[in-house]
Structure 1
Amino acid sequence: MERKHFLKSLLMGAASAPVLLSACGKDTVSPTSSTSSTSGTTGTTGTSGSGSCTVAPTETEGPFPTKTPASYVRSNITDGKTGYALTITITVNNANASCAALAGALVDIWHCDAEGNYSEYGGTGMQATNYQAVHFLRGRQVTNAAGQVTFTSIFPGWYSGRATHIHVHVYSATGTSLKVTQIAFPEGSGTAVAAVNGYAKGLSGYTSNASDNVFSDGVALELATVTGSTTAGFQLSWALAVPA
């Protein structure tokens, strides 16, 4: 079952903190083509494909999607942002072909920095810090023969009303939108979220997956496996199926 794409605005509790919306993005986006640790098990139901796997749930792209994703074909998306190192490996499978690896797909990702801010936006009530002129923590890669892409990034921070997450948009090789979704992180004792501890903000006021407006109906198909440490860096792996 597809989820609601429009969610209520969320306000920061402290007057001095940035005000962010958990989701106010478009239901769909126009395709842009280009040439170029532990996991949990809570119940969610995706849309069954004609193959042997289940299509990943559709989620809102949020209020801060990449404006021109074809301009950021790159694997290292840090752009000088500091934080605990995070290697992100995403595998895309075709639900219409018995879950075979989907080669040649375009995969866009974007997420907030250690303070909970996004690039390309800001200077408004949604995000006080103005990062309109920079493009950190955004990138595009093309899946290889194994259906995989890998990004070098930093561990995301968090902001009011949302659990730690990464946005993902998958397109076909010709630029047709196949899936907009989000990656969830394992939580609790011994997880990377606990080790990072919200960076300088700590985890006081943090929204868990169970209370998050996007993830509260279950994250079984969106929960990544995250291993590593704050000293050695973290490794995230996640697979999703799309109807291609």
Structure 2
Amino acid sequence: MFELFDYSLSYQTLSFVFLVAFFVGMAKTGVHGISMLAVPVLAVIFGGKASAGLMLPMLIMADLCAVKYYHRHANWNYLIKLFPSAAVGVLLGTWLGNLVDDHVFRMIMSVIIFVSLLVMIVMEKADKKAIPDFLWFAVLMGLLGGVSTMIGNLAGPIMGLYLLSMRLPKNEYIGTAAWFFLIINLFKVPFHIYSWESIDQNSFLLNLLSLPFIAVGAVCGIYIVKRIPDKQYRWFVIGMTAVAAVLMNI
């Protein structure tokens, strides 16, 4: 064990933090779903609420990479429908997080992961044209996305379900998601700092140390999106997400 920014960490633990940063970078540049593997790893090491705060600046750093690469492909008509209800969802998630202890917080994260896993499987099997494209659906997805992104940064599958219903091309899908998460993650920062107190100087210094791994992950994500068939990789992520959800409760 060694001391780093007021954290007592082993080299193995620090390696896991860097692996999480690498996964976050990959997820934000197109390999959606792989961040679902990162959430339980941090939660087991640091606890539910603290891990959410530690991961948030990593996500924002990766969001900036994704927005820089895909910013021209965003569809703002769909984003505008999401933001109001997503903001309400973040407020609800903040309130809920203040009511429960860390054990219950992790249980909620686990439930969200299992539900997200089911959503991912349904998305693979369902007729994409059957997913509704209505304002009420956008409001519902925004609300659920806001709650789940505050409780564990787990809104990826929910936003994926909504954006699938818009039938967006691949780059437009990634660009729209990148802008959504950059804006909503920045909106979450004050609640983590002042309400949950899950982000402080020490956690942010650890985030900065992980920045090179986020950047490498982002480059790898761009490479993978261009060259590896989506279907095979998504099923791999689905399987690993199931394992991660089980490990969260051990």
Greater strand share, 1 or 2?
Answer: 1
Q: TM-score when scaled to structure 1?
A: 0.29
Q: TM-score when scaled to structure 2?
A: 0.28
Greater helix share, 1 or 2?
Answer: 2
